[in-house]
Amino acid sequence: MEYNGWADLTPYINENQGTVNWADILLGYRENIAQYEGNIIMFPLDGDLLNLFYRKDILEHFNLKPPRTWDEYSEVAKAVHGQTYENQTLVGSCIGRVLDCAGAYWANLVIASITQTLGPWSGHLFDTSNLDPLTGPALVQALKWMEEQAAYGAPNEFGDCFDLNFNEMYSGQCVMTYNCKFIFFRRQSCFLNVF
């Protein structure tokens, strides 16, 4: 921005509202990523919004509420893991965790949810003011939650790639997953934003 390396797209967006639907872009992307000092400098074409997906019918059957925290996520996964519902043995949490796949992405999600206390600009692995690693109690807690998720996870969690999040949900075996895509499941299910 200091060297005028970005064009101001604001006039273009305003003049082309019939073909460019600026309001259709997620508010967080519009205001926090695509603008600088009130000027639109980029037009996002893709962006991930991470969500928690869960089987509403199963949670209702076991009289459980959808989780709103990582502790609650682990509690729900534990409560349903190994239970039988409609002749299927349930898996509490289906998260693919393979190296060089989405696994590290999910680890960063869990860690960032407790280390970014001041928002994304504060960093999640390193303190942005001095690049000190954030290896304190928040990291320890995040690793504990991830260990609990794996304990109530699918047997192939460390051997399958990204599709694990979808396949077990489609089959009806999995109770919860979190992912960046909005998908429809063949059974009654719901979704909400991740924590």
pLDDT digits (tens, 9 = 90+) for 150-176: 899 887 777 656 555 666 677 788 899
Tell me: the pLDDT tens digits for 69-104?
Answer: 999 999 999 999 999 999 999 999 988 777 666 666
Strands (DSSP E) along the chain, which ranges? 35-36, 39-40, 51-54, 84-85, 88-89, 91-93, 174-179, 190-193
Look at residue 104 in the predicted model and tell me its pLDDT.
Answer: 64
Q: Is 147 helix (H, G, I), strand (E, B) or coil?
A: helix
- Name the fold adopted by 51-193: D-Maltodextrin-Binding Protein; domain 2 (3.40.190)
Q: What is the C-alpha separation between 183 and 161, in angstroms, rounded?
A: 17
Q: Domain ranges in the chain? A: 1-47, 51-193
Give tens-digit pLDDT for 15-70: 988 788 888 887 878 888 889 988 999 888 776 667 788 899 999 999 999 999 99
Q: Is the pLDDT of residue 185 over 80?
A: no
pTM for the full model?
A: 0.69
